[in-house]
Structure 1
């Protein structure tokens, strides 16, 4: 299960673990214009663990989910010539 909320400066996605115990803590993804943060409470220390991704890293992660093992680089789109 997950929720999506649009706030003033970010889109917040919360992933909620469902199923048989033991369940993991909720994962919160905050998508800002400049970065994406992924947060989860560590139940052993009761502290929030956070990683920060650039938009490019998030794009690469999304692409990697559907690719086989290997090394990849996403090419930028070709430049377009403006109409004169």
Structure 2
């Protein structure tokens, strides 16, 4: 596991918030050894265009959002083991 640190800044470049995330080292895995396939579900561009055209035709209001926790509690097909980082309290 690894800590990622980031400072959020305002227009004057003053730090307004500190953020940290503890992530697993998925970047250290090798395809064919640690995993066979990877997926990144995205919408087809044609489907998005069709949706926007339909919304414009019907005068719908369209909102955009980003969901960051979509697969947070998704079922796992196999067990995952994680080591606690050195010095973690």
Name the structure where strand makes up a greater proportion of residues. 1
TM > 0.5: no
TM superposition score category, shorter chain reference: under 0.3
Query: Greater CA radius of gyration, 1 or 2?
Result: 2
Please report the TM-score for the alignment, with normalisation by the length of structure 2.
Answer: 0.25
- The structure whose RCO (Cα within 8 Å, separation 6+) is larger is 2
